[in-house]
Structure 1
Amino acid sequence: MNMPVLDRKPDPSAQPGRGAETHLGFIDCDVHPYVKGPNDFDPFLSKRWLAHKQTIGGRTRQGLAKTSMYPRMSPGAGMRMDSWPKNGAHPGSDLPMMQQQLLDLFDVAYGLLAPLVGGAGGERNVEFGAAMATAVNEWQLAQWCDPDPRLLGAIQVNIEWTESAIAEIEKRAGDRRFAQVNIPPRGLEPLGRRRYWPILQACAANDLPVSLHLGGTSGHASTGGGWPSFYHEEHPSYVQTMQTLVTSLVCEGVFEQIPNLKIVLVEGGFAWLPALCWRLDQHWKRLKQEVPHLKRSPSEYVHDHVWVTTQPIEEPERPEDMLATLDWIGPDRVMFSTDYPHWDQDDPRYAFKIPLPDDWKRKIYRDNARALYRLD
């Protein structure tokens, strides 16, 4: 069964499926804002870094720097057909259109921004990367959060320069226009390594969840066996990134060391999580001597510290398997997301093909995000 692709504006008068009354007023945990043009960040750069950008430019760790993430995404940068503004700007760059197609249409309570622009996290020159992170953060406030307070920013950092990342986190901490810290999942090393602990500690100390949105430009191949030939291979391989993240954070003892750390896995699916935890638990029983810093089973750490977003929702052949998967993860650890304005985004009215219990729907569509991000 294929998920519906929104290549046209949804009809608010359409008859929703069972339980779709919950779709109004939801909290969207994955909204992508884009720039109208390459100079949108210039007002937020110092003279030094503006000159650097204009003369030298960025040096991403991605090998094919002039293309979309390899293999190239679908034509139109993977966007909804109807999300292109009439003026030819990039989808997701027009706030009135975002309001019309998402925020106002569904009376969205909050939309959590997930900028995939600026290249701060994948920049080889970490000083320039830090400057771009600051510029993207200021851009979020000026272009999105201040004009529409329903939109909440994600603090961008370059995790390969620890001091600058911590400074940016502490600078934004307490600003309720930001809801979380965004860290690219593909760094130079797995995120659980000790070199990244001070950054994760700063997030936890400031009660800021860490958003790990799939993708990133580490310079490494997207799979453990090298670069795939097709985007059809690339897209499922994102799950491997998420599995590596969870395994690294658990096995390195991050959650034992930072007990109040909150991790959100965005746009990486979630049906794989139970099987990964079963395997981790099985091997932990035999390998406890190697990881004495783990005081509990891996699945316990995951249950306590990891949240997932819904899009893309895997669709098993037996719909009841979806309920079992959500039950294992915990309906209090799942949060709804649309992935607007991407081509495979989810319409909240039709996202789940099987009726959910009413209390689960309230948690997934609203309550879990409201509690995690303190949105009262």
Structure 2
Amino acid sequence: MTDTKEEALRVIDCDVHNQFHSGDDLFPYLDQTWKSQAALRGGGLPYITPIGNKRKDANPPSGLPVGSDPDYMLKHLVEPYGMDYALLCSDSIIGVSAFADADYAAAVCRAYNDYLIAEWLPKSPKFKGFMCIATQDPQQAVREIDRIGPHPDIVGVSVIGGSRAPYGQRMFHPIYEACERHGLPLVIHPGAEGSGIFNPPTAVGYVSNYLEWHTCLPQTYMAHLVSLVCEGVFEKYPGFKVVLSEGGVGWLPPLLWRLDKNFKALRMSVPWLKRLPSEYVRDHIYLTTQPIEEPDDPKHLMSIFEMFDAENMLLFSSDYPHWDFDDPFKILTRLPIDKKRKIFSENARKLFKLP
């Protein structure tokens, strides 16, 4: 049982994975041109967890696949933890940006966004959604943000961590302009690094198994973060925010120390930057708590939190219904209640403009 303070804690879960019933779920929302291709294409993720990706206790009594029954998700996740909101980020199409066919990828994203709005968001006011875009063709991505972004229950724009180039590069800037125009944060989520047209999942190439892949995910986030800062994205779009989801947090302080130090000597490389790189990160970057690093000595994690503005930059996430789900009543128990309130709800409420 939790104590009174824990029970009073408001919770906004910033990473909840809704799934399809089957591969046919998007068919009613796909243009006729793409239905035959969708029926033939498979997933193709390069690294699969050997213990299964889903919690066994998350199987709905309806017999539907894990994560695909919104009514059961409300009963199994949202209600028991008293969540104010569950922010939906589907991993059913997590690797769509790895396809070589940019038009097909854009069509799948359009279909998913219509499916999300029609079949999930109306189920409860506690469900809010991240729309999905494909990164192969930024102009099509912008049109999709303009089409779906105004919907009141869409609170963010989701992309995959895998990419052919770091996200700070100018080809992606129209996406960020559109996100800023609609007041929508960009949410970068892992899942298909190393597949399709993406670069290898680590700086030295392809690893051999899921353990290595999963452990090395912070490399992706480091590269995107440094690129976004050094290419001047946050100077160009001062209202633009980015969420680094499921990438850990312990790597951030030493990366910022190194980046600030090098900037002081090499600032002529980035003359558009007017502040220290770490200051842009503090004002524009958020990270989710899951999977939080868990040292044997909990005091070490608290020390890491003291090294950056953790109480204002972290967003609680459970990663439901995945195997590494984090119970909001069992993590960060040593944090003072005022800091927990920020991390578990207040930061997300402000960032995603949630009532």
Same fold (TM over 0.5): yes
- Displacement after TM superposition at 1:300 (Å): 0.6
1:117 is aligned to 92
**Amino acid corresponding to residue 147 of structure 1 in structure 2:** K
Tell whether 2:32 aligns with 1:47: yes
Give the AA of the match of 1:179: V
Amino acid at match of 1:260: G
SS of 2:291's equivalent? coil
Alignment of 1:324-335 (within 5 A): 324-330=303-309, 331-335=311-315
Name 1:351's counterpart in structure 2: 331
Q: Which amino acid in 1 is paired with 2:219? A: Q
> For the Cα contact (< 8 Å) 2:71–2:123, is it kept in 1?
no
Q: Which amino acid aligns with 2:321?
A: P
Instruction: Kindly state the Cα deviation for residue 157 of structure 1 after the two structures are TM-superposed.
Output: 0.9
**What is the CA–CA distance in structure 1 between the aligned matches of 2:123 and 2:49, rounded to whole Å?**
31
Contact 1:185 1:191 in 2 (8 A): no
Q: Determine if contact 2:91/2:191 at 8 Å carries over to the other structure.
A: no
Instruction: Give the one of 142, 156, 176 matched to 1:200.
Output: 176
TM-score, normalising length: structure 2: 0.94
Give, in whole Å, the separation in 2 of the partners of 1:358 and 1:17.
Answer: 12
Query: Alignment partner for residue 6 of structure 2, among 17, 20, 24?
Result: 20
Aligned match of 1:340: 320
Deviations 1:64-89 (A, max 9, x none): x654x32321343x110111234543
Aligned to 1:219: 198
Q: Which sections of structure 2, spanning at least 5 residues, go unmatched?
A: none
Count of residues in correspondence between the two structures:
350
Aligned to 2:339: 360
CA shift at 1:318, angstroms?
3.1
Which letter maps to 1:114?
A: C
Distance 2:340 2:43 in 1: 42
Pairing 1:176-255 to 2, within 5 Å after superposition: 176-216=152-192, 217=195, 218-255=197-234
* Secondary structure of 1:128's aligned partner: helix
1:266 partner amino acid: S
Residue 280 of structure 2 corresponds to 301
CA distance in 1, matches of 2:4, 2:210: 34
2:354, 2:114 → 1: CA distance? Answer: 21
After superposing the two structures, state which structure 1 stretch, 133-142 or 115-124, moved more.
115-124
SS of structure 2 residue aligned to 1:366:
helix
In the alignment, structure 1 residue 104 sits paired with structure 2 residue 90: no
CA offset digits 1:116-156 (Å, max 9, x no partner): 12343222111111110011101111221111221111111
Contact 1:166 1:199 in 2 (8 A): yes
Counterpart of 1:90 (choices 65, 79, 96) is: 65
Q: How far apart, in 1, do the equivalents of 2:98 and 2:232 lie?
A: 25
Identity value in percent: 36
Coordinate RMSD, CA, aligned? 1.7
Aligned residue in 1 for 2:110: 134
User: In the aligned structure 2, how far is the partner of 1:22 from the partner of 1:171?
Assistant: 38
Residues of 1 paired with 2:55 and 2:8: CA distance? 24
Equivalent position of 1:80 in the other structure: 55
Q: Distance in 2 between matches of 1:295 and 1:253?
A: 9
Write the letter of the residue equivalent to 1:79: K
- Equivalent-residue separation in structure 1 for 2:271 and 2:32 (angstroms): 51
User: Match for residue 8 of structure 1?
Assistant: none
Mapped partners of 1:368, 1:22: distance in 2: 17
Unaligned runs of 5+ residues in structure 1 are 1-14, 59-64
Q: Does the 8 Å CA contact 1:71/1:228 hold for their aligned counterparts?
A: no
